[in-house]
């Protein structure tokens, strides 16, 4: 892993933007994207730049189960609001949270990923070490799946909803194996609340109790963090 530490989220996000620029310059065509507060500054930089994704394809990590794409807390809605409506791609793919046939949805999304191998995958990390919605205990050999969200994930995400009871308890997510098939991985983490997970990811043992530690098994990972998220790293 190549780890970069910056004083501010804005500086870190600018570096992440440069990683995207370099990937495009090297003919990357498929970008795996993430949602949540972590990539918001990066997406804002993209929107305000001249970066051109009109020949690119996006595939998203995950989507809440049970939320329609026009629901204000769906990840489809988030991506449209923060990026797609202002920076169009040739095609955008996300899991369909309204598909109650999970086997069919998993098969559909795995076929999309097989047809569109990811050149650069953007990730955040949960306080419990999850990437995508791959919670502690996740099988590293899994591909797309319908997952039960950990109580800590529901607690962390309840700030986006009226109450914890309104947070979906399940989500569709790319699996660890899907993520590791990406040619290049870029992970962002900001804030003291991510410090323990970042330390485990970078310096701890590879264990499915901290899913992000699986990234140690990939040969092209860039980790960009602020000082708070890097505060527990020993080097």
Catalytic residue among 62, 96, 119, 226: 62
209 is catalytic: no
116 is catalytic: no
Catalytic residue among 96, 105, 119, 130: 130
Q: Dihedral angle at the C-alpha atoms of 136, 7, 81, 154, nearest 10 degrees?
A: 30
Q: CA 177 to CA 104: how far, in whole Å?
A: 19
Catalytic residue among 60, 76, 92, 128: 128
Catalytic residue among 63, 105, 135, 226: 135
135 is catalytic: yes
Q: CA 122 to CA 39: how far, in whole Å?
A: 9
82 is catalytic: no
Token pair of 131, please?
């990437």
Q: CA 58 to CA 184: how far, in whole Å?
A: 14
Nearest Cα residue to 36 out of 1, 60, 54, 58: 60
Residues taking part in catalysis: 62, 128, 130, 135
């Amino acid at each position: 892993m190549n780890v970069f530490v910056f004083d501010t989220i804005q500086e870190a996000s600018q570096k992440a933007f440069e990683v995207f620029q370099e990937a495009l310059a090297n003919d990357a065509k498929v970008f795996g994207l993430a949602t949540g507060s972590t990539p918001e500054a990066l997406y804002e930089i993209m929107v305000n730049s001249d970066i051109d994704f009109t020949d690119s394809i996006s595939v998203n990590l995950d989507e809440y189960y049970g939320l329609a794409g026009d629901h204000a807390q769906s990840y489809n809605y988030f991506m449209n609001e923060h990026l797609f409506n202002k920076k169009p791609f040739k095609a955008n793919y996300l899991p369909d949270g309204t598909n109650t046939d999970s086997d069919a949805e998993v098969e559909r999304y795995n076929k999309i990923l097989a047809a569109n191998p990811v050149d650069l995958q953007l990730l955040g990390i949960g306080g419990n070490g999850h990437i995508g919605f791959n919670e502690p205990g996740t099988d590293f050999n899994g591909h797309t799946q319908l997952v039960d969200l950990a109580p800590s994930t529901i607690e962390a995400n309840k700030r986006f909803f009226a109450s914890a009871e309104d947070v979906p308890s399940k989500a569709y997510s790319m699996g660890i194996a899907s993520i590791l098939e990406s040619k290049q991985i870029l992970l962002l983490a900001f804030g003291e609340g991510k410090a323990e997970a970042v330390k485990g990811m970078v310096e701890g043992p590879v264990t499915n109790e901290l899913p992000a530690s699986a990234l140690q098994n990939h040969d092209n990972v860039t980790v960009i963090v602020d000082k708070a998220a890097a505060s527990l790293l020993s080097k």
